[in-house]
């Protein structure tokens, strides 16, 4: 049949000639190729020691942000938990007491904030839903662990470090 695109290639199946039937020349050719690969650069990234460079919009582990005075931004509105398609987020809210103004920005805060990393699909919808810019998926790869219960991350793992510690770290890295 006429080819409409003009790119049709007709492949002929020729019977193998003597050398092809011997297989050996082809095998030696293949072996030369594999041997040359022994001396090529290895593609492996030695994971815990080395890490792949991530793109700008990589979504890793969540972090709960602090504002410029070092106060937690989260007000426990629950929009992130509502938006979460995997239902990985849960929280318990509490009212800010007097004298805690340097800890929490708004009058209400999350006393308990848990993300189940086994449920999380890292879609980033919590990040988009948050009206207070309190949660971002800007962390590293979530590490592996042995028990299911250890994958439920609380505030101890999620909340950013206090401002003083972060500044100290920055000073060291400089």
What x/- string results for residues 28 through 57 when contact with other proteins is judged by CB under 8 A?
A: --xx-xxx-xx-xxxxx-x-----------
Region of 69 (left: φ > 0; alpha: ψ -120 to 50; beta: rest) is alpha
Residue 74 labeled ligand binder: yes
Q: Tell the smallest beta-carbon distance from residue 158 to other proteins (Å).
A: 30
Residue 4 labeled ligand binder: no
- Run of H or E residues at 66: none
DSSP 96-159: PPTT-TTTBSSSEEEEEEEEETTT-----HHHHH-TTS-EE--S-PPPP-SSGGGGEE-HHHHB
- Using the contact rule CB under 8 A, the part of the chain among 4-12, 18-26, 120-128, 132-140 near other proteins is 18-26
Residue 120 labeled ligand binder: yes
Q: Tell the smallest beta-carbon distance from residue 37 to other proteins (Å).
A: 5
Per CB under 8 A, 19 contacts other proteins = no
Residues with Cβ within 8 Å of 69's Cβ and at least 6 positions away in sequence, in order, are 102, 105, 163
Q: Tell the smallest beta-carbon distance from residue 150 to other proteins (Å).
A: 22
Residue 126 labeled ligand binder: yes
Phi then psi dihedrals of residue 32, to 5 deg: -65, -40
Total binding residues for other proteins by CB under 8 A?
18
Distance CA 132, CA 9 (A): 60
CA distances from 159 to 26, 31, 115, 162 (A): 60, 54, 12, 9
Q: Tell the smallest beta-carbon distance from residue 29 to other proteins (Å).
A: 10
Summarize as ranges the residues that interact with other proteins (CB under 8 A).
Answer: 21-24, 27, 30-31, 33-35, 37-38, 40-44, 46
- Give the residue ranges of the annotated binding site: 74, 77, 80, 84, 120, 123, 126, 130
* Residue ranges at the known binding site for [4Fe-4S] cluster: 74, 77, 80, 84, 120, 123, 126, 130
């Amino acid at each position: 049949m006429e080819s409409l695109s003009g790119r049709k290639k007709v492949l002929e199946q020729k019977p193998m000639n003597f050398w092809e039937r011997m297989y050996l020349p082809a095998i030696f050719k293949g072996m030369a190729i594999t041997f040359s690969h022994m001396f090529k650069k290895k593609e492996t990234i030695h994971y815990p020691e080395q890490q792949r460079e991530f793109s700008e919009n990589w979504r890793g582990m969540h972090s709960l942000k602090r504002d410029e005075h070092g106060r937690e931004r989260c007000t426990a509105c629950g929009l992130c938990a509502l938006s979460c398609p995997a239902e990985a987020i849960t929280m318990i809210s509490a009212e800010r007491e007097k004298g805690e103004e340097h800890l929490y920005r708004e009058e209400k805060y999350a006393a308990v904030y848990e993300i189940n990393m086994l449920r999380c699909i890292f879609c980033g919808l919590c990040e988009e839903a948050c009206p207070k810019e309190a949660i971002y998926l800007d962390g590293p790869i979530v590490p592996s662990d042995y028990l299911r219960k250890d994958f439920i991350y609380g505030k101890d793992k999620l909340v950013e470090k206090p401002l003083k510690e972060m500044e100290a770290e920055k000073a060291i890295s400089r």
